[in-house]
Structure 1
Amino acid sequence: MKRLLVFLTCLVCALCASVPARTAEKTVIHLLSTPFGTGSYVLGTALESIVNQGDYPLSIAYAETPGQAYNVNKLNADAAARQNTVVTASQGINWLAEQGKKPFPAKRTPLKLIGIYTYTATWLVTGDKDIKSVADLKGKRIAMGRIPQVIWGYEPDALLRNGYDDDFYKSLKIQFVGTSEAATALVNGQVDAATIGGYMDPVSGRFSPAPQTVEVLASGRKLRHLDWTKDAVEKTAAKDIRLFPIQVPAKAVDGLEAPIWIGADLHGLFAHPDFPEEYAYILAKAMIENIEAFGKYHALGGLMSRAGLVKGFSPENIHPGALRAYKEAGIL
C-alpha cells in the first residue's frame, strides 16, 4: 500500500509538471472601425491581427460601424466603452465633433490620437483646357462627395468657402453627390470639375489613388489637376476644419506634371481621453514595433512610417499613454 501511494503521488506530480502553465488572460479591447472596404477598415483588421498574434497583454475584438461620426458619438455617449474601446477617426471629424457641426447635432468631446494610419489627399480635377487654377472655376459646376463623407465633401467645400473670396464661392454650382458619382459626372461631362485624391505618406511622398481617382484617370480624358495653394489650405485651417498643408509630388498620378498643395486629413486610431493610459501605451507600442508589417495586409499599409504615426499632431492632442510610447521610441 505504501509503495502504491508513493507511485500515485509521483504520477500526479509528473502529470502536473507536463501541463503547461495557463497563459495569462488578455484584456479585450474593442476596435470600432469604418464600413467594409475602406482604407481604415483594412488597416484596422491588420492591427487586430498584429496585436492578437503578438506578445501583448491585450487582444483586439474588431467591429465594422457606419462610419467615423458614429464612432465619436459612441464614445461620447457610452462611459463604459471609453474604458475598453478604441475607434477609427480623423483630425477632421474630431474638429467637427468639437465644434458641434454637421453631422453632429451638438458639441462632442474630441478624441485623442493613438496612431495615424493614413493621410488623405483630395483636390479638384478638370477636363476643361481653359480652367488652369481653382480661381478659373468661378461660375462652374463642381461635383464632390456628400457632406458626411468628410474628406470628399465637407473638406473640399470648406477649402472653397474659406480659401477664396465670398463672391467666388457663391458663384459655384456645387453638387454633393458622392465619391463615385462625382467621378462619373466628370467623365460624362456633366460637371466642369470633381474631387479626386487618395492616400499618402507625407514623409516619403508615396501616394496611392482612391478608387474614384482610378476611374477618372482611366477615362482617357486629358485632365488638369488644380492646386489648392498653400495659402488657401492655411486660411481654411485657421477659420474652419483643421487641415494639414502638404504637397502631392509630381507624377504621383497620371497627368500631374508639377507638385500641388492639398489640405491633408489624418486618419487613424483614436480613444477617448478617459481610455486607460497603459492600454494606449501598449497599442501605440504595437504600431511602432510592427510598422512594416502593415504593408503585408494592404498596399495602404506600405504608406505607413514611424514618423508618419504622429506627423502633424501636437502632443496635447495625442493620448498621454501613446505619447509616452512615442517619446520612448525617439519619434517625439
Structure 2
Amino acid sequence: MQKILKNGILGLACLFSFNVIAENHTIGTGSQSGTYYPLGGILAKIWSENIDDFDMRAEVTAASVENTIKVSTKKQLAGIAMGNVVLQAHEGVKPFPRKMDVSVLFALYPNVVQFIVPADSDIKSIKDLKGKRISLGAPGSGTRVSSTNILAALGINESDIDAQSLNYTATTNAISAGQIDAGAIVGSVGVGAITELAFTHNIRILTFTPEELKIVSDSNPSYQAIDVPAESYKGVNAFSAPAVWNILIVNKNLDTELAYQMTKIAFENMSEINQVISVTKFTTLENMNKLNGIDLHPGSLKYLKENM
C-alpha cells in the first residue's frame, strides 16, 4: 500500500511537473492591436492541437527585439520578428549586446514602414518630419528599430525631431487626439491599428520618393520598395514605402525534430491560418528562406527539401 501510494504521488508529481513545463511554451508576438498577436495565437492553437504533449500560448510583448532576446535566451520557444532585427541579432550589432542564438523557422509576410499623419497635416513628405512630434514605436519593437534606422539613412536623426516611444494603440490614439504630429507603424498592409484609425479619422500615409527608397535599400538590403494600392485603408491614397519581411524565429539549438514538426504542421494547416490572417498568403514554401544572411533552422530546412 505504501509503495502504491508513493508511486501514485510520484506519478502525480511528474504529471504536474510536465504540465507546468508544457504550459510554459510561449510564442512572442506584439501588441494586441497588431498582426503579430492574432498570428501567434493561431499558430499556438494549431501546434497545441497537432503536436503530442505540446501546449503553447501567445504572449503580448514589445515585439521584435524583445522576442528575439527571449527566444535566444530560451525564455520563449518561438517568436515573430522583423527580418532586419533578426539580422542585427545574428550579427550582434545594436540594439543587441552580442551575437544571439537565433535561427529562422520560416519567413511569414512583408511588413510595410507606414508614417501616418492627419489628412489636413502640413507634413507632405518624409523630409517634412523634421522638427515634429513623432512616435517612432515602443522601446524594444521592430517599429522603433526600423523607423529610426530609415530616418537616419535619410538624414533625420532623433535629435532632429521630438521623438515619442508609443506602441501601435498609443500611437493611433495620440494622432487622433492631436498629441503628436505623426506616428510610425511598421506592420502588414491592413494592420488593425491603422484600419481602425482610418474608420474614425481622415488620415494620410506618407509616400517615399524613388530616391528615398533607393537610399533606404542601399543602407540596408533587408528593405525593399513596395507600392500599396489606394483604399488599402479607408480614404487613404496609394503610397510607396520600404518593406521588410517578418520572420518566425526559434533558438538555433532547438531540437531538430520539434522544429521540423512545427514547420510541417504550420504548412499543412496554412489554409486555416490564411482565414485568420490574410497576409499569410505570402507564407509559402517558395518564400520560406526569404531573409538573406541567416540560415533556416535544420528542422525547417529538412521540411523544405522534402517538399521542393
Task: Provide the TM-score with structure 2 as the length reference.
Answer: 0.74
Equivalent residues in 2 for 1:157-168, closer than 5 Å: 157-162=148-153, 164-165=154-155
Tell me the residue number matched to 1:150. Answer: 142
C-alpha deviations, 1:160-188, integer Å up to 9, x for none? 111x135x875333322333333233223
Tell me the residue number matched to 1:257. Answer: 237
**Shift of residue 322, structure 1, vs aligned partner:** 1.0
Tell me the residue number matched to 2:40. Answer: 44
Tell me the residue number matched to 2:57. Answer: 62
Tell me the residue number matched to 1:101. Answer: 94
Matches of 1:288 and 1:94, distance apart in 2:
22
* Residues 225 and 34 (structure 1), Cα distance of their counterparts in 2 relative to 1, 3 Å cut: closer
Which residues of structure 1 form unaligned runs of 5+?
Answer: 1-27, 200-206
C-alpha deviations, 1:205-252, integer Å up to 9, x for none? xx42232x134313333x332123455455445546943433322321
Pick one of 121, 126, 140 that aligns with 2:132. 140
- What is the number of residues matched between the two proteins? 283
Contact 1:69 1:93 in 2 (8 A): yes
Tell me the residue number matched to 2:27. Answer: 32
Matches of 2:67 and 2:233, distance apart in 1:
32
* Residues 227 and 99 (structure 1), Cα distance of their counterparts in 2 relative to 1, 3 Å cut: farther
C-alpha deviations, 1:258-286, integer Å up to 9, x for none? 24123334142x22222233322222222
* Residues 263 and 110 (structure 1), Cα distance of their counterparts in 2 relative to 1, 3 Å cut: farther
Pick one of 267, 273, 278 that aligns with 1:294. 273
* Residues 299 and 74 (structure 1), Cα distance of their counterparts in 2 relative to 1, 3 Å cut: closer
* Residues 90 and 140 (structure 1), Cα distance of their counterparts in 2 relative to 1, 3 Å cut: closer
Q: Percentage identity across aligned positions?
A: 21
Counterpart secondary structure, 1:108: coil
Residue 171 (structure 2) pairs with residue 190 (structure 1): no
Residue 223 (structure 2) pairs with residue 243 (structure 1): yes
Matches of 1:122 and 1:93, distance apart in 2:
14
Tell me the residue number matched to 2:83. Answer: 91
Pick one of 284, 296, 301 that aligns with 1:323. 301
* Residues 140 and 128 (structure 1), Cα distance of their counterparts in 2 relative to 1, 3 Å cut: farther
Contact 2:103 2:297 in 1 (8 A): yes
Contact 1:36 1:64 in 2 (8 A): no
C-alpha deviations, 1:186-207, integer Å up to 9, x for none? 22333332224642xxxxxxx4
Task: Provide the TM-score with structure 1 as the length reference.
Answer: 0.69
Contact 1:294 1:304 in 2 (8 A): no
* Residue identity in the other structure for 2:112: A
Counterpart secondary structure, 1:247: strand
Contact 1:39 1:300 in 2 (8 A): no
* Residues 290 and 160 (structure 1), Cα distance of their counterparts in 2 relative to 1, 3 Å cut: same
* Residues 196 and 274 (structure 1), Cα distance of their counterparts in 2 relative to 1, 3 Å cut: closer
Matches of 1:52 and 1:64, distance apart in 2:
15
Which residues of structure 2 form unaligned runs of 5+?
Answer: 1-21
Contact 1:198 1:209 in 2 (8 A): yes
* Residues 93 and 197 (structure 1), Cα distance of their counterparts in 2 relative to 1, 3 Å cut: closer
C-alpha deviations, 1:109-139, integer Å up to 9, x for none? 2511112344332311223454332123333
Task: Provide the alpha-carbon RMSD of the alignment.
Answer: 3.5
Contact 2:82 2:142 in 1 (8 A): no
Tell me the residue number matched to 2:12. Answer: none
Counterpart secondary structure, 2:98: coil
Larger deviation, residues 44-53 vs 317-326 = 44-53
Contact 1:33 1:44 in 2 (8 A): yes
* Residues 159 and 219 (structure 1), Cα distance of their counterparts in 2 relative to 1, 3 Å cut: same
Larger radius of gyration: 1
The higher-RCO structure (CA 8 Å, 6+ apart) is 2
